[in-house]
């Protein structure tokens, strides 16, 4: 029913930028928080950034000042990633958190390497 599809991942050099997008199809009712999570090889999935329906944002300390999360109130969320570092390399997942549970995208690979 509800589908979350990430796009925008790829290979970028250190110091470069990427913009990820997450498009939601289907209707999600109520107020919900959206977020980006990431999982590097051999590591646990971790929160990168979240944004509420009211536009309040929260960032992991590792990305604060470099990443910017944004959304519209319909169907799309973005993650602008600047000053990328090799340690940002991970699969990035879009997430929607609701009272009844949550939804996940399939993930998009971000690789930061020379």
What is residue 21's predicted lDDT score, i.e. its pLDDT?
98
Beta strand spans in 8-66 (E): 10-12, 18-25, 33-39, 46-51, 57-59
Q: Rounded mean pLDDT of 91-111? A: 93
What is residue 73's predicted lDDT score, i.e. its pLDDT?
76
| HSE-up (13 A, CA, CB side) for residue 104 | 10
pLDDT bin (cut points 50, 70, 90) of residue 38 is very high
Distances (CA, A) of 23 to 2, 60, 94: 10, 22, 9
Least confident interval from 12-21, 32-41, 98-107:
98-107
Dihedral of the alpha carbons of 28, 30, 33, 36, in degrees to the nearest 10: 0
Average pLDDT in the chain: 95
Q: Rounded mean pLDDT of 88-110? A: 94
Whole-angstrom distance, CA of residue 76 vs CA of residue 94: 10
What is residue 111's predicted lDDT score, i.e. its pLDDT?
98
Distances (CA, A) of 53 to 13, 43, 67, 83, 86: 33, 29, 18, 27, 31
Q: Rounded mean pLDDT of 3-11? A: 97
């Amino acid at each position: 029913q509800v589908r979350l599809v990430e796009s925008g991942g790829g290979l970028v050099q250190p110091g470069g930028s990427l913009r990820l997008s997450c498009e939601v199809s289907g209707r999600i009712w109520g107020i919900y928080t959206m977020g980006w999570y990431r999982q590097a090889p051999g590591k646990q999935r971790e929160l990168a950034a979240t944004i509420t329906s009211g536009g309040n944002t929260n960032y992991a300390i590792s990305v604060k000042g470099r990443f910017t999360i944004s959304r519209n109130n319909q169907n799309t969320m973005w993650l602008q990633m600047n000053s990328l570092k090799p340690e940002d390399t991970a699969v990035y997942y879009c997430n929607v958190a609701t009272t009844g549970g949550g939804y996940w995208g399939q993930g998009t690979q971000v690789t930061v390497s020379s």
